[in-house]
Structure 1
Amino acid sequence: MAHVFVSDKQIASRYSVARSTIWRWVKTRDFPNPIKLASGCSRWRIADVEAWENNKIGGAA
Structure 2
Amino acid sequence: MREKQVLATIAPVHRTTWWRWVKAGTAPKPISIGPRSSAWRLSDLLLWQQGQWPVTNKKDLPNPASTGAGAPKYLSGDTQPQP
Q: TM-score normalised to the size of structure 1?
A: 0.70
Deviation at 1:30, TM superposition (A): 1.4
* Greater C-alpha radius of gyration: 2
| Separation in 2, partners of 1:9, 1:54 | 20
- Which one-letter code corresponds to 1:34 in the other structure? P
- Residue of structure 1 equivalent to 2:34: 38
Higher helix share: 1
Amino acid at match of 1:49: L
Q: Name the amino acid aligned to 1:13.
A: A
Q: Select the structure that is richer in strand.
A: 1
Q: Structure 1: where are the runs of 5+ without partners?
A: 1-5
Question: Residue type of the partner of 2:3?
Answer: D
Q: CA RMSD in A?
A: 1.8
In the TM superposition, residue 11 of structure 1 has moved relative to its aligned partner by: 0.8
Higher relative contact order (CA 8 A, sep 6+): 1
Distance in 1, matches of 2:51 and 2:33, equals 26
Question: Aligned residue pairs: how many?
Answer: 52
User: What does the per-residue CA deviation read over 1:19-60, in whole Å, with 9 as the maximum and x for residues that have no partner?
Assistant: 33221210124101100011111000000000011116xxx7
TM-score between the two structures when normalised by the length of structure 2: 0.54
Q: How far 1:17 sits from its partner (Å)?
A: 1.9
**Among the aligned pairs, what percent are the same residue?**
35
- Divergent runs of 4+, >4 A: none
Query: Which residues in structure 2 correspond to 1:1-61 (within 5 Å)?
Result: 6-14=1-9, 15-55=11-51
